[in-house]
Every structure is written in C-alpha cells, then in structure tokens.
Amino acid sequence: MTAQEWKSYGKFVRINNNDLFVIDTADETSSKETIVIINGYPSTSYDYHKILPTLSEYYRVIVHDHFGFGFSDLPDTYCFSLMDQANVCIELWRKLNLKSFSILADGYGSKIAKEILYKKNANLISFNIKKLLICNSVKNDFYSDLNTITALIRNKKLAKYKNILMNYKNNLFYELSVENKKYEDKAKIDRIWQKFNELEHQKEALVLCCYNEETYLYWHRWMSALKETNIPVKIFWRKDDFANIKDLLLNLASDHHNNIEIIENKHCFVLDREPINWLLMILRELDQTAYHSYKYEFATA
Amino acid sequence: MNISDWQAKHQTIKLFNQRVSFIDSVVGDKVVLVIHGFGMSSFDYHKVIDELKLSYRLMIPDLIGFGFSSKPTNFYFSFIEQAQMLLRLLEEHNIKEVAIMAQGFGASILCEILSIINAGFSDLKVSKIWLLNLSLSVELSPNMEAQGQILKYINAGFMKMVSSFEMFKKCIRLNFCDANAISEEALKTSWELLLLNDGLKTLNFINYWGVEILQSSNRWLDAIKNTNAPIEIIWGMDKSSGDIDTPERINHFLTVEKTHLIADCGYFPMFEKPSIFIDILKGV
C-alpha cells in the first residue's frame, strides 16, 4: 500500500487549529466495540496497515498520527511534550464522541496512555476505558537510521545542544529579544524561523530528549497511575527489547496488583515482520471470541 | 508570630494521598487563591491576611513539600500535580470563580492551572491575575544564558540557604531592600516551617523544577497568553529582588492591565511594604 492510498482511507480532524490525520474504520452508529491505538515514536498510523483490515472486522479501530508525524500538521508552536500529545488524544476522542473503548499503546505511546490513565484516575475525563494494552511492536533495529540520534541522546553533552535548540523552539525567542536590534525586522524573523523548521533532524533530537526528560520527571505520576487504576492492564514484553524489560522490572518491583497482567511475547513477534501472529497475540488478550474466530479463519484460509 | 500560633490558623485536607494545609478565611464572595513561591510557604502573607480578608475570601495553601503540607522525600511532586491539587482544593470548597495571585514559581503553577482549564479539564473561572516578583522570569528570559543563570541562582541560592539557620537568615535578608524589614521571629518561623517533616529533603528535587519549567514553558506561555482574565503586575523594584527586567518583558508579551512597581522593595512586597501591597490589592 502506498502512502497516498493510506491517506485516502483517513480523514482530517481539526484540533487546536491544526489538522490531525485520523483513521477511523467505522462511525458512531457501528455496533462494534471501539479500540484506539496510540502509536509510538517515531512511527505513524501507517505501521498498522497490515493488521488494520483484520482488526476492523471485529472492532471500530481509531488510530491517528501524532502532531509532527505522518500526515498530521506540524503546529507552529510545536508540542514537544507527552502531556500535550495526551491532551490531543483526549480532544480527538471527545470530537469523535467516543464513550467507551480499549486502548492499545505502543512504545512511547504507552507513556501517553499512562498519562491518560492518570487523568482517568483523577476523574478529569469521563471516558469508560475498558482495557489498556501496552506493547512495543517494533524491533529495535527497525529505526537503525535513527541510531546516530540515539547515540547523541545518550551523550551527556547533549543537554547543552538541546538547550540551544529549545531556545529556537518558537519565534517568541526573537520577539522577546527587544533590546536586540538585529531582530527588529519581522520578515527576517520569519525567514530564520522557517529555515530552522527545515532542519528536520534538529527537531527529532529535541522531541526525543523531551520525552526522555518527561519520563523521569513524571515517573512517579505514571507509576502510581498504573497502581491506582481498576482498569485491566496488560503489558507485553519480549526478551530482545531491553528498554521494555527495564520498565517491566520496575513494575514488578512495585506492589503487585491483580488488574495488571504481564505477558511474555515468547516468539518475539513484531508488527512489521509477523503481523498476523502479532495481532493474534493481541486479540487473545483483548477478546477471546474474536481471537478464536480469527484463528479458525486464518487456519482454514 | 511563632509556629504554633501560625498552625492554629490552618486547616487540613487530604488530596491525592497528600496532606494539604491551607488558610481559608471563609467569609466573602470574591475568592483569592494565593500561590506562594517555592521554598517559602503561606507564612509569607501573615502580615497582610488580617487586612485583606476584610475584602476577599483568602485561600492560601501551603504547596506540597512546603509549610505544614506533607513533604514527599522520595519522589518529585511536579508542577502539574501541584496545579491539580489546587484545582481539587477549590473544587472541594465549591469555588467556581477565583482571582489568583502568584509569586515566583507559583506563577508557573498558575499557568499550568490555566492550561488545564484551556484543555477542558476544569470549569473554574479565573477572574483576575496578580503576578508578583520573579513570576515567569525563567519562562520569559530572552536567551539560554539568562535562563541558565536564573536557574543556577535559584538552585545554588537554595542549597546555600538551607545549610544552616544563620545562612538562611543571611540569604533571606539579602532579598530585602531594608534588611530589618523582617523580624528575627519571622525568620525563625520560616526556618522551622522549612525544616518541618524532613522538609529539607524535598529540596533534593530542586533540579527537577528547572527541567520541568524549561520543558513546559511553551505550554504555559501559551495558556497565559490565551486567558481573558485581566493581569496586574506587582513588583518590588529594588535590585535585591533579583530581577527587575521581567515586568517589562511581561508587558511586552501579555496585555497587562496595570503594572505596580514598588520602589525600595525587594523580593517580598507583602513583607516589606505590606500597606502598599494591601492598597494595590484593594484597588485603592
């Protein structure tokens, strides 16, 4: 499937004056249960194109591209924060008039999902969240071209680099430098700003570091969100995914709760290589009936 | 005023598994929520409460980690959570409309409250905003050197300040134009409030504040720019206040209704010039 074909399946929803690309496989009148997918960094809704036709037979599936990724807009004041991304999700679900759904969160999306869980615990949102599935669907080497960035991020000196970038995060920086005559010319400011926006990789580094920072800033908040919730949570892990194992150990180290189930992805299925098996694994935890019927259908085909 | 007299004025409520201590003057239609600066507590306002409560219903909470409120020592209680805690506090008291006064880092919490309201998670109406010394100083600083300097000044300043009572006294007095404006007794109470419940350990997370401010400043500036509430600035303009450039920057960035610049006054206008401070708040 080409990117343009994929685009034709979706629609754009206006959120905070920017267009968000959304795939919605059914509408409000559908009798199917709803599942929303929060994808990870730096993937897009397109990653799910192999499983979407099947999953949508059983569910109304909603998946969107986060702002700054895929077909969604890159807002002027670009939201770097997971908090903002969580708010965008909530705003979208409100606009689509969703009442009750399960969440499938992938990679970094799991942090957004935990923030949403926290908001749910604090009674800030009224959605009925039926289940939360947390997984990491990509192999680590999948985005190997990002390795330079990963190396950069692990670099202790990056903090300084990041600070420089952060100062260019919006043109406010120039507006505020009132004493600096150099920036008086508005057109010039716009040009500098535009130039900066063209340097994609700068932004990428920035986004990732911000995510990393939020991970430790709000670690306790998100951990307690998991502890306090009554919603069934299923966490998938596989032995070749180190980052996840660390998270998992932290989960296990804290108190054990009945509603949290930790499931091993024994064969290390990943979405792009074994989509059918991956989907079966998810369906099995999501809905036994759907799982059996699909398994049967798949075996007979 | 000593610490036990001060405690007698407080009420306690449990929110988000934390004990929140606050002053509520109960009477009055116009509610003013006061968010104190970091490292300090509601005690900052003890000189002006009696006068102000004649005009307003004052809500002065001790933020989590300060004053009589609980002080988590093993995790970071973020700005977002402080904001949510305050919103819940107002909700519990059935307050629908509020004027907010914020100092220093308190202004960042104020912005987070506005951002929560903007995102549609709360129906609270904010009718007025007063920004005190050091509000938005980091967020609006023009470049990274200035930003880093302010944060360094705050971090290092705090670490030095809490090393002993003598050091604390010295550092606090440096924030006053007239070092005698704060009495020995008030300093002692402030210090005891800081020490209470292992409070100094909360300061281990001091670096996180800076990280979170830099992380969220975009969202916060956006939120305060979009609010309809009229904004007033109250700023002690003596150089002991640490920052006298920000009022101009706020004026440049936001639509400010009035700017009250107080001469010969340091970081704590409510301490150093209580009568002027009261007059400003009453709109005299």
pLDDT digits (tens, 9 = 90+) for B249-272: 899 889 999 999 999 999 999 989
Instruction: For A182-197, write each residue's pLDDT tens digit.
Output: 556 667 666 666 665 5
Q: Is pLDDT above 80 for A240?
A: no
Q: Is pLDDT above 70 for A198?
A: no
Q: How many residues does chain B have?
A: 284
Q: What is the mean pLDDT of chain A?
A: 79
Instruction: For A47-90, write each residue's pLDDT tens digit.
Output: 899 899 989 999 999 999 988 788 888 776 555 688 888 999 99
Mean pLDDT for A219-238 is 88
Mean pLDDT for A268-293 is 88
| Ramachandran quadrant class, B197 (left: phi over 0; alpha: psi -120 to 50; beta: rest) | left
| Cα A15 to Cα A65, A95, B119, B182, distances in angstroms | 12, 9, 11, 51
Per-window interface: A 150-189 vs B, CB < 8 A: 163-164, 166-167, 169-170, 172-173, 175-180
Q: Is pLDDT above 60 for A299?
A: yes
Q: How confident is the model at residue B183, as a pLDDT?
A: 92
> Do B251 and B225 form a contact (C-beta atoms < 8 A)?
no
> Do A59 and A32 form a contact (C-beta atoms < 8 A)?
yes
Sequential pLDDT tens for chain B (284 residues): 889 999 999 999 999 889 999 999 999 999 999 999 988 899 999 999 999 999 999 999 999 999 999 999 888 999 999 999 999 999 999 999 999 999 988 999 999 999 999 988 999 999 999 999 989 888 887 676 777 777 887 788 888 888 899 999 999 999 999 988 899 999 999 999 999 998 888 888 888 888 888 888 888 988 999 999 999 999 999 988 888 889 998 998 899 999 999 999 999 999 899 999 999 999 87
Cβ pair B214:A166 closer than 8 A: yes
> In chain B, what are the domains?
3-282 (3.40.50.1820)
Cβ pair A80:B81 closer than 8 A: no
Q: How confident is the model at residue A289, as a pLDDT?
A: 87
Helix, strand, coil % (nearest 5) of chain B? 50, 15, 35
Q: What does the domain layout of chain A look like in residue ranges?
A: 3-142+219-300
Mean pLDDT for A231-260 is 76
CATH number for the A3-142+219-300 domain, one of 3.40.50.1820, 3.40.250.10, 1.10.1200.10, 3.30.830.10? 3.40.50.1820
Cβ pair A210:B215 closer than 8 A: yes
Instruction: For B197-229, write each residue's pLDDT tens digit.
Output: 988 888 888 888 888 888 888 889 889 999 999
Cβ pair A122:B216 closer than 8 A: no
Q: Per DSSP, what are the bridge partners of residue A222?
A: none
Picking from A105, A51, A63, the residue whose alpha carbon sits closest to that of residue A272 is: A51
